[in-house]
Chains A and B, each alone.
Chain A
Amino acid sequence: MGPGAPPGEGWSRVYFGADCCQTLLPTVAVLRSARAQVPSGAAFTLLTPAVDDAGLAHVAALLRELHAGDEVTVADYGVLGLVRERTGLVPVLGTLLTRMLRDPRIPPAAGAFPPATDADRVLRQASVTSPAFRSLLTALGVRRVELAPVAQGFDMDFAAMELAPTLHAPFAPVTGGRVCLFAAMGQAPEHRFEVGAGCHQECRRYVAATTDAEGSMPHARLFTAGNTVFQEHPRDVASRSFAALDVPGARLVVRDAPLAPWAWSTEDRSVARRWLDGTA
């Protein structure tokens, strides 16, 4: 299955893969096929997860299938090293390494009022606001970083930081790990919830709406998909988040489901705005 039709005119880049689980890495053959299905004129980004040493070797094989100019989003500094070894590939710091709080319990930004205190402001900032971290990213050739919407909003000057931001919407990863609820559906009892145990990719078939039985997060739409809990943000939160990233090169990536293998993106703000407004 290919990327499908873009949401409209102006969607110019295709994303493929998942950044949350090593077992979702494609085979070399699947990636080769996927890369061949990218429409002419569209750019390509491969999402990669954190991996063990065996996974690292597999990622190295996958990278050989990519074309010059392709982006690779990394969730692992080992993978970043591999991408840098491949001349022509463009490394992007993924959401899991562009660390910030995406906790559904953090209250939304209070209307139009700017955050009044340092305590408020740091909730709206990511690890890349650190000059020391940015200097290292620059040395490593990383010019783009990925984010997900947050209800508390962003307070970061990407122009001053000389980084291009990518916003994934509407799903934001909240937490995830190497132990998977869905994998347990098909595992022998002695391997359930065992780190590194194999699975049948049940997450390709199922997702679970996840609610707090005690009701402390009544407004959060949460989904457990594979090994990760995602929050689906309403369009207005995604819209506010994207509006705060008003710099050249800012990009919006949209997907229909938390682990949808394909997604489209745009750097055209008017196109992005139409999607965020629900008029695309």
Chain B
Amino acid sequence: MNEPHTVDGPLGIAAPLSDVDEVELLARNGATEFYCGVAPAAWAVRYGASWLNRRARGRANVPSVDHVAALASAAHACGCALRVTLNAPFYTGDQLGEVAELAESLLGVGADGLVVTDVGLLVALRDRGLAGAVTLSSVAAVHNAGAAAFFRELGVRRMVLPRHVRVSEVASIHARLPDVALEVFVLNDGCVYEEGHCATTHALGTFCLTPWTHDLRRVDGAEPTEDERRSFAAAASEHRRWIWHVDNCGSSFSDQGLPNGPCGLCAIGALRDAGVRCLKIVGRESSTFRKVRSVRLVNSVVAQLAGGASDATAAAYARDLRNTPELCGPGYMCYYRDGDPARSER
């Protein structure tokens, strides 16, 4: 079975799961490991809007530990590991014991790891001898080697870096902490803000997708000039366009049936060179069709690199595969503009 907490081996592809029926299909198309969410009814009844992880009940979360057991069993049958997200931005004192118990139950029924954000939960799991099972969630917002070292001290050996990170920053962290396995986002579901610095809850809707209107003011109290208003209006208009790209380009598919939206395909070579061990495909709540297409898309670029293609060749392959120059051109869909060989040559 592919181990979820290793710094060695080929580049992995972590795919989201909602249902046992997806496991074999996704594994056959290139997924090397899986992650899922769980949202027991009892938690929802007790805590309402304070979710167990960053996604709602329903397709993004299976409803019980038993369902996780079934997913783990199916994943293992395909030689893949399964991790479970317990990555709310934080848990309160009231919640901590309950989450730690749940974590133990999940590992007890076959989950291979837990994706965790909250420092308190990390400490609690460490104290129970379970730190080795933890993957640090992107919601922990690790942007530097010092922060990574802090979590490594708590026993974490695998970390998902935040969405908003540069390839050069990934390389810098890896260079200082080579024994930490790094995972990064590669496809789908962007975030307008830094998730770890966001104090809103998706339980009340997606705050960052609110159709805002902005009224420009000068900090010195003077009236903005017409030029300033024009410049800001242009920036705000482009910002709305960028947000549309971040929001999966309106959840659209290309003419080739490929999922549009945040993408790091062109940067996979650079990410591998920077020390990344696993590529994360986002979208537990997505349709099975979107998941399969996403996994195939990522796997096809990984296969190019595994076959000896240079980073530039693999990036060109990825662009040709997508064939959406109108979306790729501005860079608004890119997770890693600095990892795209074509852009960095400009």
Give chain B's interface residue range (CB within 8 Å of chain A).
35 or more
The interface stretch among A175-183, A237-245, A262-270 is: A175-183
List B contacts of A119 (CB < 8 A).
46-50
In the complex the two chains form, is A101's CB within 8 Å of B200's CB?
yes
Taking each of A80, A121, A122, which has the highest tally of chain B beta carbons within 10 Å of its own beta carbon? A122
Contacts known (A103-B207, A208-B232); A127 close to B166, Cβ less than 8 A: no
Contact of B123 among A100, A120, A132, A172 (CB under 8 A): A132
In the complex the two chains form, is B50's CB within 8 Å of A133's CB?
no
List B contacts of A102 (CB < 8 A).
199-200
* A122-171 at interface with B (beta carbon < 8 Å): 122-123, 125-127, 129-136
- Least CB separation from B148: chain A residue: A78
Q: How far is the CA of A175 from the CA of B208 in the complex (A)?
A: 8
List B contacts of A181 (CB < 8 A).
214, 235-236, 239
Q: Is B337 an interface residue (CB 8 A)?
A: yes
In the complex the two chains form, is A51's CB within 8 Å of B144's CB?
yes
The interface stretch among B71-79, B187-195, B295-303 is: B187-195
In the complex the two chains form, is B120's CB within 8 Å of A177's CB?
no
**Count, A-B residue pairs, CB within 8 A:** 245
In the complex the two chains form, is B212's CB within 8 Å of A212's CB?
yes
Q: How far is the CB of B14 from chain A (nearest CB, A)?
A: 21
List A contacts of B124 (CB < 8 A).
132
In the complex the two chains form, is B147's CB within 8 Å of A76's CB?
yes
Q: How far is the CB of A19 from chain B (nearest CB, A)?
A: 10
Contact of B151 among A77, A135, A206, A224 (CB under 8 A): A77
- Least CB separation from A78: chain B residue: B146
- Least CB separation from A51: chain B residue: B144
Contacts known (A131-B96, A175-B199, A208-B232); A77 close to B172, Cβ less than 8 A: no
Contacts known (A136-B119, A179-B164, A184-B235); A209 close to B200, Cβ less than 8 A: no
How does the 8 Å CB contact mask read for B102-124 relative to A, with 1 for contact and 0 for none?
00000000000000001111011
How many residues belonging to A are interface residues under a CB distance threshold of 8 Å? 76
In the complex the two chains form, is B216's CB within 8 Å of A206's CB?
yes
Q: Is B149 an interface residue (CB 8 A)?
A: yes
Q: How far is the CA of A52 from the CA of B212 in the complex (A)?
A: 29
Q: How far is the CA of A99 from the CA of B199 in the complex (A)?
A: 7
Contacts known (A131-B93, A175-B199, A181-B236); A196 close to B146, Cβ less than 8 A: no
Q: Is A8 an interface residue (CB 8 A)?
A: no
Q: How far is the CB of A165 from chain B (nearest CB, A)?
A: 15
In the complex the two chains form, is B165's CB within 8 Å of A175's CB?
no
Q: How far is the CA of A56 from the CA of B124 in the complex (A)?
A: 28
Q: Is A109 an interface residue (CB 8 A)?
A: no
In the complex the two chains form, is A129's CB within 8 Å of B210's CB?
no
In the complex the two chains form, is B331's CB within 8 Å of A118's CB?
no
Q: How far is the CA of A101 from the CA of B199 in the complex (A)?
A: 5
List A contacts of B287 (CB < 8 A).
none
- Least CB separation from A60: chain B residue: B146
- Least CB separation from B173: chain A residue: A53
Q: Is A185 an interface residue (CB 8 A)?
A: yes
List B contacts of A134 (CB < 8 A).
120
Contact of A125 among B94, B141, B212, B236 (CB under 8 A): B94
Q: Is B89 an interface residue (CB 8 A)?
A: yes
Q: Is A236 an interface residue (CB 8 A)?
A: no
List A contacts of B94 (CB < 8 A).
118, 121-122, 125, 129
Q: Is A210 an interface residue (CB 8 A)?
A: yes
Q: How far is the CA of A125 from the CA of B224 in the complex (A)?
A: 40
* B19-55 at interface with A (beta carbon < 8 Å): 46-50
Q: Is A105 an interface residue (CB 8 A)?
A: yes
- Least CB separation from B208: chain A residue: A175
Q: How far is the CB of A102 from chain B (nearest CB, A)?
A: 4
In the complex the two chains form, is B121's CB within 8 Å of A52's CB?
no
Please, could you name 6 A-B residue pairs with CB atoms under 8 Å apart, sorted by A?
A: A50-B197, A102-B199, A103-B204, A127-B92, A185-B235, A206-B232
20 extra A-B contacts, CB within 8 A, seeds A102-B200, A174-B200, A190-B346: A50-B143, A50-B197, A53-B144, A76-B146, A78-B143, A81-B150, A99-B90, A99-B199, A100-B90, A101-B50, A122-B95, A129-B94, A130-B90, A132-B121, A179-B164, A189-B330, A190-B330, A192-B235, A206-B219, A213-B212
